[in-house]
Amino acid sequence: MTISRIRLAQAASGLVLLGTCLVAPAGASEGSSVVEEGKGIAFSRSKGNCLACHMIEGGESPGNLGPPLIAMKARYPDKAKLRAQIWDATTVNPDSAMVPFGLHRVLTEEEIDKLVEYVWTL
Amino acid sequence: MSGHCDGGLRSNIEPNCLEKREIMKKTLNKMAILLLLGGVVFTAQATTPEEDRAAFVKHYKFRFPDVPMEEYPNGAYAIDKIGRENWEAIEEFPPYEPFIDEGQEMWDTSFANGKTYKDCFSDGPGVASQYPRWDKKQGMVITMALAINQCREANGEKALKYKKGPIVPLLAYMAFESRGQVTNVVIPEDDPRAMEAYEKGKKFYFTRRGQLNFSCATCHVQNTGLKVRTEVLSPSLGHTTHWPVYRSKWGTAGTLHRRFTGCNRNIRAKPMKAQGEQYRNLEYFLTYLSNGLELNGPGARK
């Protein structure tokens, strides 16, 4: 269990880099559509469902189990850290109530990349 | 956890945020103790059920200092003012009332062999405070729902389903007749298997499961009082006092094990079998926590 978890985490950190590389070169116009898709994933109840726990600008009936998602760029200058929080929040806080979206494969790596682009705009 | 404050960012704008964070830190410390308590018991060092119960009481008292103990049987409405107003309006014309009437009819109707439920439940229908109980002979936790079906089968009748359907009115009638009794789960010391069942239920309660990785405690201990979407997470003290529940979302009344199933599904975990060993042990543990709280079933929830 621990070993496979570590492997997964390693694979993930690899993917973090990969993900950033893939997204970074995208032009501004393409970037904004990625952001739109990320927003869709964040708001969808069957995908990210971030609103279950987080206040997000423009989102209806948010929960307050987690902190409001605002000023993300200022709080996460390092995009990879933001991605890691979404991939598996329990590495930072073992008692975290946040769903480990990557580790438990709730979202695909590609979906998480898009999500990160969107969340970073908040 | 930082739901009321955003973990620091707005402390520039909001001066009392720092203070709130201090409180939060204290809450977190308490929480850690409690979760640790759960963790400790999984290893060798045992806490007694009474110590467990006291730790839960302490935790909720700390979280909700203004909520008196006797309010906990009202679930989320003990801590959610707005929800409570709606609920009080609903309780004026209780949606579970027809179930009580139907259940009484079932209680009064003889089985094909001429016997009735009274032949199994010699104390009458108001016996909810006797359940769940450890049955030494059968070596398992017997819940009221299970006792009903054991009665039926002993009298040549088919067992009823456990989540919805005809068992619900019967349970509703029996719960209504038990109102005012006090939760009093006993873990007999003359049979170590009883304590084992309690420990298994407790372990289930604290184990994270499902794709979404929640334990019961994640929501109902650690984050109680906070909101998932618009749902205020209720404390687990009082979780068992008021079943069956008429739930507006269901559009009908359902059993405690139906609720367990729902909470398991929400976290994308495969639900266990209603009245299977795991849920019965969970009910044993969960009901023990409410010892001393008054029975107020059937209930209504949104």
Those of residues 212-241 in B touching chain A at CB distance below 8 A are 212-214, 218-219, 222-223, 226-231, 233
- How sure is the predictor about B166, in pLDDT bands with cuts at 50, 70 and 90? very high
CATH topology for the B47-301 domain: Cytochrome Bc1 Complex; Chain D, domain 2 (1.10.760)
Q: How many CA atoms lie within 13 A of A27 on its CB side?
A: 2
Strands B245-247 and B252-254: antiparallel
Nearest to B176 by CA among B247, B103, B121: B103
Does residue B41 surpass a pLDDT of 50?
Answer: no
Write down the residue that tokens 């997204």 correspond to.
Answer: A23
What is the per-residue pLDDT for B171? Answer: 98
Please tell me if residue B33 touches chain A, with a CB cutoff of 8 Å.
no
Query: What span, in angstroms and rounded, lies between the C-alpha atoms of B211 and A93?
Result: 18
- How sure is the predictor about A90, in pLDDT bands with cuts at 50, 70 and 90? very high
Chain B residue with minimal CA distance to A93? B1
Q: Are B109 and B179 in contact (CB under 8 A)?
A: no
What pTM does this model have?
Answer: 0.84
User: What percentage of chain B exceeds 90 in pLDDT?
Assistant: 84
A53 to B1: CB separation less than 8 angstroms, yes or no: no
Q: Which domains does chain A have, with CATH numbers?
A: 25-119 (1.10.760.10)
Residues 6+ apart with CB under 8 A from A78: none
Mean pLDDT of B7-33: 37
- How sure is the predictor about A31, in pLDDT bands with cuts at 50, 70 and 90? low
What is the per-residue pLDDT for B12? Answer: 30
Mean pLDDT of B139-163: 98
Does residue A3 surpass a pLDDT of 70?
Answer: no
Give the DSSP per-residue string, B270-299. ----TTSHHHHHHHHHHHHHTTTPBP--SE
B223 to A51: CB separation less than 8 angstroms, yes or no: no
Partners of A104 on chain B (C-beta within 8 Å) are: 211-213
Does residue B196 surpass a pLDDT of 70?
Answer: yes
Query: What span, in angstroms and rounded, lies between the C-alpha atoms of B21 and B8?
Result: 8
Q: Are A53 and A65 in contact (CB under 8 A)?
A: yes
More confident residue, B37 or B96: B96
Please tell me if residue A95 touches chain B, with a CB cutoff of 8 Å.
yes
What is the per-residue pLDDT for B142? Answer: 98
What is the per-residue pLDDT for A30? Answer: 54
Does residue A1 surpass a pLDDT of 50?
Answer: no
The partner residue sitting opposite B228, judged by closest CB among A63, A71, A104, is: A63
Known catalytic residues of B? 263
What is the per-residue pLDDT for A8? Answer: 43
Give the DSSP per-residue string, B163-196. SSSTHHHHHHHHHHHTTT-B------TT-HHHHH
Does residue A22 surpass a pLDDT of 90?
Answer: no
Please tell me if residue A62 touches chain B, with a CB cutoff of 8 Å.
yes
Q: How many CB pairs under 8 A join A and B?
A: 57
Please tell me if residue B4 touches chain A, with a CB cutoff of 8 Å.
yes
Please tell me if residue A1 touches chain B, with a CB cutoff of 8 Å.
no
Query: What span, in angstroms and rounded, lies between the C-alpha atoms of B80 and B70?
Result: 15
Does residue B88 surpass a pLDDT of 90?
Answer: yes
What is the per-residue pLDDT for B47? Answer: 87
What is the per-residue pLDDT for A120? Answer: 96
Query: What span, in angstroms and rounded, lies between the C-alpha atoms of B244 and B164?
Result: 10
More confident residue, B41 or B232: B232
Please tell me if residue A51 touches chain B, with a CB cutoff of 8 Å.
yes
The partner residue sitting opposite B229, judged by closest CB among A63, A71, A90, is: A63
3-state SS assignment for residue B63: helix
Whats the size of chain B, residue-wise?
A: 302
B212 to A106: CB separation less than 8 angstroms, yes or no: yes
B9 to A106: CB separation less than 8 angstroms, yes or no: no
The partner residue sitting opposite B229, judged by closest CB among A51, A74, A95, is: A51
Please tell me if residue A122 touches chain B, with a CB cutoff of 8 Å.
no
Does residue B1 surpass a pLDDT of 70?
Answer: no
Query: What span, in angstroms and rounded, lies between the C-alpha atoms of A86 and A89?
Result: 6
- How sure is the predictor about B34, in pLDDT bands with cuts at 50, 70 and 90? very low
Partners of A48 on chain B (C-beta within 8 Å) are: none
B226 to A65: CB separation less than 8 angstroms, yes or no: yes
Least confident of B13-27, B146-160, B279-293: B13-27
Partners of A68 on chain B (C-beta within 8 Å) are: 6
What is the per-residue pLDDT for B184? Answer: 97
* Strand arrangement, sheet containing B252-254: B252-254, B245-247, B299-301
Mutate: best of B17, B28, B31, B213, partner A, most A CBs <10 A: B213
- How sure is the predictor about B46, in pLDDT bands with cuts at 50, 70 and 90? low
Please tell me if residue A8 touches chain B, with a CB cutoff of 8 Å.
no
